[in-house]
Amino acid sequence: MISRPWLTGLLLLSFAPAILITPSQMPWILWILPLTATFLITRQRQPVAHPQQETIEVPPEFSLARRSHTPREQWQTTVMRWRAAIETLPEGVMILDHQFAISWFNPEAQNLLGLFAKRDLGQSVLYPLGQPVLDDYLRQGDFSRPLDLPSPINGHRMLNIRFIPMENAQSWLVLVRDITTCYQIDRQQSDFLANVSHELKTPLTVFRGMLELLPELTPDSEQWHSALALMQKQTERMQGVIEDQTALLRLGSRQEYPVCPIDMRTFLKELVEEAKALSGARCHEFVLSVDTEFAFAGNRELLRCVASNLLFNAVHHTPPQSEVRVVWQKDHLNQPTLIVSDNGPGIAAYHLPRLTEKHYRVTFQQSVAADHLPHQGTGLGLALVKQTMDRCRGQLEIASQPGIGSRFACRFPSTSLIRQPDHES
């Protein structure tokens, strides 16, 4: 359509000359007027060119067309968001009905408790856990305190379970947390206090008796020197307990141990000399074999903890003139390996699984050759070796046979090897 101002102007332009022209010129005017009108109409209808504007795409989640407008859709969206949030929680979550049957659980509860939807949904919570303690807990009905249970799929992991009533106890929200680390710390603290008090009780009793006896003894007499020697021995024992306990606590911490190249031949020679001094008049025979074809990098303090405990144990727990062999080599898996073996009385097989437990001892009555073993250690030596090898990502292997001897092999990871540069011929 032609706009009104254009139309008015066109009519005035067309009819104004008609007043001045003669009748003989009228046909020409009638011929030119339609052509002029057609040109103006065509020009008016052509689209006007505008600069192209940049369009912005709206994300679907912000689009009004995708938003939930009805109350039902809004409720469903809220439920889906809450469920997604619960499924990502680092704690296990279960929902139980009024009879403690499982209605729902999140992935973390599945990992901690070993749950399966097809098997466990609708079942009582007692069925997958299988703990009599939990049955007693539910019967008592006192849910103000949480319950600590071992994991049904891994007995070394400890779980904390809390029951929270919902809807007037018509349903239950159950929270499950892995408290293994906290449980181990508490147990270590309790063991530390119990073991230290037990280990210090004997030396303190000896000191008390000797202090009561010394005033009655003649100075420089045989009994006087015997009492002093006994107190000196108990002092060394107390010092050993404290040092071993401190070392265990340090190994359990996050302390960093720097790594550096170690000359194993010199290092082991020094330890063997210390072992000879420890043997003294018992005259143990030491055999040292060191493979120098490869270089090793590690922490000197940790390596000394491992080697000295194994070597000194061999001296303490073997008869006089026994042979103690120390070997440093690479095994068939290219792992640096320290082996300490002896031809002593050996250890019965039923002791072997517990040798690395703290304060576990093979007592004199249980020993094959008890009359030759007067030494009583702290019971922490092999525990230190085991924990140190774990810290080094290595392995401790123990083999022993009564009447033949014992063999302790410490295998370090192959990553502790130092690649030596190729020498030009």
Answer whether 94's CB lies under 8 Å from 105's CB.
Answer: yes
213, 235, 252 - which closes a domain: 252
Strand pairing category for 395-401 and 405-411:
antiparallel
8 domain-assigned:
yes
Do 211 and 264 fall within a single domain? no
Among candidate residues 161, 178, 195, the one where a domain is terminated: 178
Residues 144 and 235 in one domain: no
Does residue 64 lie within any of the structural domains? no
Contact assessment for residue 94 and residue 109, using Cβ atoms and an 8 Å cutoff? yes
Q: Which of 156, 178, 200 is the last residue of a domain?
A: 178
Would residue 394 count as lying in a domain? Answer: yes
Of the pLDDT bands very low, low, confident and very high (cuts 50, 70, 90), residue 341 is very high
Instruction: Say if residue 153 is in the same domain as residue 289.
Output: no
With respect to residue 212, please indicate whether it lies within any of the assigned structural domains: yes
Query: CATH number for the domain including 333?
Result: 3.30.565.10
Q: Is residue 204 part of a domain?
A: yes
Between CA 131 and CA 108 the distance in angstroms is 20
Tokens 């293994």, residue located: 180
334 and 369: one domain? yes
The answer to whether the Cα torsion of 299, 305, 306, 311 is positive or negative is positive
Q: Are residues 169 and 240 in the same domain?
A: no
State the Cα–Cα distance between residues 103 and 96, nearest whole angstrom.
5
| pLDDT band (50, 70, 90) for residue 192 | low
Which position has the higher pLDDT, 12 or 319? Answer: 319
331: left (phi over 0), alpha (psi -120 to 50) or beta: beta
Query: Going by DSSP bridges, is the β-strand pair 260-262/405-411 parallel, antiparallel, or unpaired?
Result: unpaired
Residues 337 and 387 in one domain: yes
Measure the CA–CA gap between 374 and 35, rounded to whole angstroms: 133
Same domain? For 210 and 133 the reply is no
Are 298 and 344 found together in one domain?
A: yes
Q: How far lies 70's CA from each of 63, 74, 317, in Å?
A: 16, 6, 82
Higher pLDDT, 43 or 148: 148
- Flag whether pLDDT at 215 surpasses 90: no
* 157 and 272, same domain (yes or no): no
CA R_g for the chain = 45
**CATH number for 161:** 3.30.450.20
Both 278 and 142 in one domain: the answer is no
State the pLDDT at residue 339. Answer: 96
Tell me which of 287 and 167 has the higher pLDDT: 287
State whether 354 and 381 are in the same domain.
yes
Q: Measured between alpha carbons, how far is 229 from 237 in angstroms, rounded to an integer?
A: 12
Question: What are the beta bridge partners of residue 340?
Answer: 326, 408
The token duo for 232 is 């000196």
pLDDT tens per residue, range 232-289: 877 877 777 777 777 777 777 667 888 999 999 999 999 999 999 988 889 999 999 9
| Residue 49 neighbours by CB under 8 Å, 6+ apart | none
The pLDDT-based confidence of 14 (bands split at 50, 70, 90) is low
Would the pLDDT of 91 be above 60? Answer: yes
The domain in which residue 19 lies consists of 4-45
Distance CA 267, CA 157 (A): 39
Least confident of 20-34, 63-77, 121-135: 20-34
Give me the numbers of helices (H) and strands (E) for the chain, helices first please.
12, 13
The answer to whether position 159 is within a domain reads yes
Parallel, antiparallel, or unpaired for β 285-290 and 323-330?
parallel
Q: Is residue 17 part of a domain?
A: yes
The answer to whether residue 65 sits within a structural domain is no
Is there a contact between 402 and 346 (Cβ–Cβ < 8 Å)?
yes
What's the total number of domains in the chain? 4
Q: Is 276 in the same domain as 409?
A: yes
pLDDT at position 378, please?
66
Q: How far apart are CA 238 and CA 249, in angstroms?
A: 17
